[in-house]
């Protein structure tokens, strides 16, 4: 699962890639073998391309990086977390539409940035 606009995150690089950023960060937690995660992957790739200049997008394999998943209380996948100023500001559980993710990002950007 990968796209040029999506950072593959793991236990080793998560903090460096997510924290200390000026722009918002969207992190997708996924699991192999999940139909919903496969569907979400394409949606997140599209969102990452659309918001490439405004939002950092990353993806975590929750099974392979259980420490990171545990740190953010990931109980099921897919799960999307939105970070701003080094904290989780929104938690979106389950598969949603591309429009719902875009709306969440637009609201986040409107709060912290000028769109």
> What fold is seen in the domain 6-93?
Glutaredoxin (3.40.30)
Helix/strand/coil for 51: coil
- Which structure tokens are listed for 100? 């719902």
Q: Measured between alpha carbons, how far is 56 from 83 in angstroms, rounded to an integer?
A: 10
- Write out pLDDT tens, residues 36-78: 999 999 999 999 999 999 999 999 999 999 999 999 999 999 9
> What are the residue ranges spanned by the domains of the chain?
6-93
- Write out pLDDT tens, residues 74-101: 999 999 999 999 999 999 999 999 999 9
pTM for this structure? 0.93
Residue 27 DSSP code: E
CA angle 4, 87, 12 (to 5 degrees): 50
- Which structure tokens are listed for 32? 């192999």
């Amino acid at each position: 699962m990968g796209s040029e606009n999506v950072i593959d995150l793991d236990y080793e690089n998560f903090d460096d890639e997510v924290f200390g950023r000026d722009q918002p960060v969207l992190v997708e937690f996924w699991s192999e073998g999940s139909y919903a995660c496969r569907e979400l992957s394409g949606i997140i790739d599209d969102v990452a391309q659309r918001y490439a200049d405004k939002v950092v997008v990353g993806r975590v394999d929750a099974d392979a990086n259980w420490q990171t998943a545990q740190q953010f209380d990931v109980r099921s996948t897919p799960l999307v977390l939105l970070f701003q100023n080094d904290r989780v500001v929104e938690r979106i559980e389950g598969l949603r539409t591309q429009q719902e993710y875009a709306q969440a990002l637009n609201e986040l950007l409107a709060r912290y940035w000028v769109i």
